Structure 1
Amino acid sequence: MVNEPVTPSRLRDVQLGCDLPEVDQQTIANHGRLIRLAEGETVFREGERHSWVYWIVDGSVALEMTTGGTAPMSLLTLGRADLLAWSTMLGNRRMISTATATSPVELLAFDANELRELCQSNHEIGYQIMTHVAKQLASRLLATRLQLLDLFSHPSECDQ
C-alpha cells in the first residue's frame, strides 16, 4: 500500500470542494492521504470498527455483505469519484459490508473524525463536503430503488 499527500487537483478529480477557493481546497487536501491498493486488497471488513472515509480516484471497489448463508452477497461496485465508508462521517464506525479492490485502486483517504472537525470549524468547507456526501447518498438511494423495482417487477412485464 502506497500512502502519500493529497493535492487540490486530486480533490477536483473526485469533484470534492470544486466550488471552494484554492486555499480551502488546500485545507481539505492537508487532511487527506492518497492510498493505492492492489486488486484483491481489502479496504475494510464487515463488522470491524473503521475510522476512515474515502473517495475513489481511480479503479473500482466491490461491496459485499454476509446474509446468513455461506457466501457473501455482492451489493454493488463503486468506481471513480464514488464515496466509500460514508457512515464514518456520521460517527458510525462499525462497517456493515466488506470493501475489496476489484482492480488497482487509488483512494483519497480522510480520518473521519478530523474531517468532521474541519466541517464544524469551517462552515463553508463543511457545507460543501456534506452537500457532496448528501448527493452521493441520494444517488445510491436512487440506484437501490431502481434495483428493487427491477427485482419486484411483475413477470408479465418482463415477457414484453
Structure 2
Amino acid sequence: MQYNLQHSLITHIADKTGIKVVWIYDGVKLPTTKPFITVEQMQNNTSVISKQREAVRTIYRFQIGLFASSVSNRALKQGEIKRVLLFDNIELLDATTPGRSLGFFYANITAEVPMPAEDISNDTQKHRVYFDVEIDVTFNKNTL
C-alpha cells in the first residue's frame, strides 16, 4: 500500500499542478530548476481496531516539499498544492501495473511549515515550504 500511495500522490500532484515532482529516496539528486515538489515517506502508525485482529488501521504519513523560485511564487504555489491535497479525491494507482486503478482516497494536511534557508548561498534551499500529509487506511485481514 505504501508504494501505491506514494506513487499516486506523485502522479496526482504532477498532473494537477504541472510542476515536476521528485520521489525522495536515499541518494536522490534534487533538480536545480525551480519550482519543484518533493514527496518523502515519513513514519507510519498501525493499530489494531477490532478483537481477533480482524481489522487494522494504518496512518501513512508523507512530507511534501515545495521548492519555489521566489517568496511570491511559493505563496501562490502553496495555495494551489493545498487545494489539490485537501479537496481532490485522489486516484489510488497500482504502482506495479500501469493504468490500473485500485480506487480513490483523500489526503489530510496536518501542518504547513515554511523553512528558512540554512545557507543563503544555497539557492535550492531558498523559498521552501513543507506539508505534513496523512492518509488514513483501514484494512481487514482479507484485504491486507
TM range (shorter): under 0.3
Higher relative helix content: 1
Question: Structure 1-normalised TM-score?
Answer: 0.26
Output the TM-score relative to the length of structure 2: 0.28
Which structure has greater strand proportion? Answer: 2
